[in-house]
């Protein structure tokens, strides 16, 4: 059987085979044919703001050091000594011009270039030869602060790869002063399950009132009628104005903003109770008067999910990274973001906005994501039933008029449809059956 | 109402960034504090979350920093609950629909190395180490680290004003951090 036929057999129009979540050989192939072939999110520029800053990351399973060199250029170096393979950098972040391997002392600049080895006279080779430099990701590009890398020399430019998902990303950034955010630590979670379970969930509007029932009940416990948080999913979510949109290349967007009134302060009113809410809201109103609405909305989660295949999800105010570790183990890291107000657009209230915004961002990882992760783990357990081969994702399929093709070629459907899953699975299948031209730079 | 404001944050960060050296001399106070910490651990292991909440002051904080000693004004925390959010947390666990705790974890806590330091006329700072063994749905995992408590003597008993839980792996990815630590 050829490769293409094999993957055709695993991804059907309405369902996928369990083995794409459970088979270690398929996982290993994903690490090259998916994570080696497309642009993969690595880190945010605000994690390495100064020259010589670094942060460790991964490209698939490959350990990386993302550095900003002394000239300010960003590199994604393999964290693997050219000599014998040990990781040369063992701290997760810092500032360093060089990295010295703790095993035999080979030392590299933060550009990847070999600086020197102990007692070179014992070698017959020329260490100026680039083959001794650290390997690095040959193509590293940023889109408005988001650093991506790819090993695939035939991949399109990052901007072309992102395509129309840049529209929602731009809108997400442009609601902030100066059109930018900074990362301030993270809620770091882990589950024993395949990484795609998180990506399949990323635009899923069908699970919300079930998986997050406890969150909805908690957030609305003081309300007569539920109006807080994601309560707009209750009732008849199929008919709500929110929608899911598929942009191609595995990227999708769930936009819940149409459920919310378009006026300053409306997002803030959706927020349930958070520590410091009363005091900081009143400080912001004191400082900004009638203009407080916009500032308070910046402390509130914006109801969008912007998913960039295969490992990035921008949602609420979070930048979420999906990190596969094994076929049945995944880290999801929810980086919190804050506003930076260099031009004073927020009238000196940025600290108050951030003091609130940090607390609002703790809510979903604490009271929502843990329940999703428990459900992902239960899928992984359930999929051990090997004769029961199929996983369904056919909600909305075959219902006339349900999925519409927009003038720009994107697909739009009710937020509770699984069309986005079917589409990213088609892309997954295409990539798994293709042969990317992978290489490293030295 | 939340009582968390700029002053509250500033006092919290001050109290939990500089730990004094000398323990208080009064062994009776030390013993009372030890009993508070042991009772807290037992109530949590027994799943008596409402009784546990009753040990906390009306103005309290349950705080699990995401970096050692992280400032909650400048970075997100694993958990940062004022009284209202702590009640939310218990409320959610009691809905029966918090799938990360359905079925609930079984836990066993060891609290040790308790040291009591002076703070004010009617309050003390307490440091302790903990090991928390958790079993849930076929898997066992271990949580460990140290706790800082600020206890205040009010109405004839020590109330918990602040509990800071410092996990040794607070800045690493955690599996199902849905239990009360």
**Domain spans, chain B:** 6-167
B2: closest CA of chain A, how far (Å) = 6
Domains A40-143 and A163-429 equal at CATH topology level: no
The answer to ipTM > 0.95 is yes
Residue ranges covered by each domain of chain A: 40-143, 163-429
User: For residue A375, which residues of chain B lie inside 8 Å, CB to CB?
Assistant: 99
H helices then E strands: how many in chain B? 4, 7
B71: closest CA of chain A, how far (Å) = 10
What are the structure tokens assigned to A332, written together? 């999801």
Within its chain, how far is the Cα of A442 from the centroid? 28
A415: closest CA of chain B, how far (Å) = 23
- Write down how long chain A is: 442
Q: Which pLDDT score, from 0 to 100, does residue A1 have?
A: 60
Does A187 contact B66 at a Cβ distance shorter than 8 Å? yes
The residue to which tokens 């085979």 are assigned: A17
Q: Which pLDDT score, from 0 to 100, does residue B1 have?
A: 82
A338: closest CA of chain B, how far (Å) = 9
Does A370 contact B176 at a Cβ distance shorter than 8 Å? yes
- What are B68-96's pLDDT values in tens digits? 988 999 999 999 999 999 999 999 999 99
Regions of chain A with pLDDT less than 50: none
Residues with Cβ < 8 Å from A312, sequence gap 6 or more? Answer: A41, A146, A319, A320, A321, A322
Please tell me which residue of chain B has the smallest CA distance to A321.
B173
User: For residue A373, which residues of chain B lie inside 8 Å, CB to CB?
Assistant: 100, 175-176
Does A217 contact B80 at a Cβ distance shorter than 8 Å? no
Q: Three-class SS of residue A251? A: strand
Q: Which pLDDT score, from 0 to 100, does residue B20 have?
A: 80
CATH number of this structure's domain A163-429, picked from the four choices 3.30.470.20, 3.40.50.300, 3.30.70.20, 3.90.380.10: 3.90.380.10
Does A188 contact B82 at a Cβ distance shorter than 8 Å? no
Q: Which pLDDT score, from 0 to 100, does residue B18 have?
A: 86
Residues with Cβ < 8 Å from A106, sequence gap 6 or more? Answer: A81, A82, A83, A88, A100, A114, A116, A117, A118
Question: What does the pLDDT average to over B105-114?
Answer: 98
Q: Which pLDDT score, from 0 to 100, does residue B154 have?
A: 94
B22: closest CA of chain A, how far (Å) = 33
User: For residue A215, which residues of chain B lie inside 8 Å, CB to CB?
Assistant: 92
Buried b (16+ CB within 10 A) or exposed e, B9-43: beebbebbeeeeeeebeeeebbebbbebbeebbeb
CATH 1.10.760.10 assigned to A40-143 = no
Nearest to B100 among A331, A351, A370 (CB): A370
Does A185 contact B67 at a Cβ distance shorter than 8 Å? yes
E strand or H helix that includes residue A27: helix A24-33
Nearest to A362 among B9, B61, B79 (CB): B79
Q: How far apart are CA A31 and CA A37, in angstroms?
A: 9
- Between vectors from CA A111 to CA A110 and to CA A117, what angle results, nearest 5°? 70
β-sheet bridge partners, residue A154: none
Residue B25 has pLDDT above 90, yes or no: no
CATH number of this structure's domain B6-167, picked from the four choices 3.10.450.50, 3.40.30.10, 3.40.1800.10, 1.10.10.10: 3.10.450.50
């Amino acid at each position: 059987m050829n490769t293409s036929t094999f993957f055709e057999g695993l991804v059907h129009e309405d369902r996928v085979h369990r083995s794409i979540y459970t088979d270690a050989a398929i996982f290993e192939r994903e690490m090259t044919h998916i994570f080696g072939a497309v642009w993969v999110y690595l880190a945010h520029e605000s994690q390495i703001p100064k020259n010589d800053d670094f942060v460790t990351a991964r490209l698939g399973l490959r350990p990386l050091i993302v550095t900003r060199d002394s000239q300010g250029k960003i590199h994604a170096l393999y964290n693997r000594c050219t000599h014998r393979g040990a990781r040369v950098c063992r701290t997760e972040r810092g500032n360093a011009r060089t990295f010295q391997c703790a095993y035999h002392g080979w030392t590299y600049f933060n550009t990847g270039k070999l600086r020197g080895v102990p007692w070179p006279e014992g070698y017959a080779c020329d260490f100026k030869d680039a083959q001794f430099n650290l390997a690095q990701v040959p193509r590293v590009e940023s889109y408005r602060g988001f650093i991506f890398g790819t090993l695939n020399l035939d991949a399109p430019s990052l901007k072309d790869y992102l395509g129309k998902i840049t529209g929602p990303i731009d809108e997400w950034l442009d609601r902030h002063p100066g059109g930018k955010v900074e990362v301030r630590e993270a809620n770091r979670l882990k589950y024993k399950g395949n990484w795609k379970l998180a990506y399949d969930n990323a635009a899923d509007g069908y699970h919300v009132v079930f998986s997050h029932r406890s969150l909805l009940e908690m957030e609305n416990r003081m309300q007569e009628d539920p109006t807080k948080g994601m309560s707009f999913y209750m009732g008849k979510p199929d008919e709500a104005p929110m929608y899911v949109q598929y942009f191609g290349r595995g990227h999708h967007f769930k936009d819940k903003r149409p459920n919310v009134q378009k006026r300053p302060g409306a997002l803030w009113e959706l927020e349930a109770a958070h520590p410091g809410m009363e005091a900081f809201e009143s400080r912001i109103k004191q400082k900004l008067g009638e203009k407080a609405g916009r500032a308070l909305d910046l402390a509130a989660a914006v109801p969008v999910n912007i998913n960039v295949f295969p490992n990035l999800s921008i949602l609420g105010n979070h930048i979420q990274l999906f990190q596969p570790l094994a076929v049945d183990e995944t880290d999801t890291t929810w980086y919190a973001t804050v506003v930076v107000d260099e031009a004073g657009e927020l009238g000196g209230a940025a600290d108050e906005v951030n003091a609130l915004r940090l607390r609002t961002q703790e809510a979903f990882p604490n009271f929502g994501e843990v329940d999703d992760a428990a459900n992902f783990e239960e899928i992984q357990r359930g999929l051990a039933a090997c004769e029961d081969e199929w996983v369904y994702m056919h909600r909305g399929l075959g219902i006339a008029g349900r999925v519409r093709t927009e003038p720009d070629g994107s697909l739009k459907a009710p937020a509770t449809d699984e069309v986005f899953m079917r589409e990213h699975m088609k892309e997954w299948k295409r990539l798994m059956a293709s042969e990317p031209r992978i290489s490293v730079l030295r | 109402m939340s009582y968390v404001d700029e002053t509250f944050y500033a006092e919290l960060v001050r109290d939990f960034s500089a730990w004094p050296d000398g323990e208080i001399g009064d062994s009776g106070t030390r013993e009372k504090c030890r009993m508070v910490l042991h009772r807290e651990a037992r109530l949590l292991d027994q799943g008596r979350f409402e009784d546990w909440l009753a040990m906390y002051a009306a103005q309290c904080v349950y705080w699990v920093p995401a970096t050692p000693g992280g400032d909650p004004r400048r970075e997100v925390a694993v958990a940062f609950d004022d009284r209202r959010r702590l009640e939310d947390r218990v409320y959610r666990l009691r809905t029966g629909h918090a799938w990360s705790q359905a079925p609930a974890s079984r836990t066993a806590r060891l609290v040790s190395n308790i040291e009591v330091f002076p703070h004010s006329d009617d309050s003390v700072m307490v440091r302790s180490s903990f090991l928390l063994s958790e079993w849930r749905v076929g898997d066992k995992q271990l949580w460990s680290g140290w706790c800082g408590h600020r206890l205040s003597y009010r109405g004839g008993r020590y109330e918990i004003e602040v509990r800071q839980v410092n996990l040794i792996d607070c800045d690493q990815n955690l599996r199902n951090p849905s239990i009360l630590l």
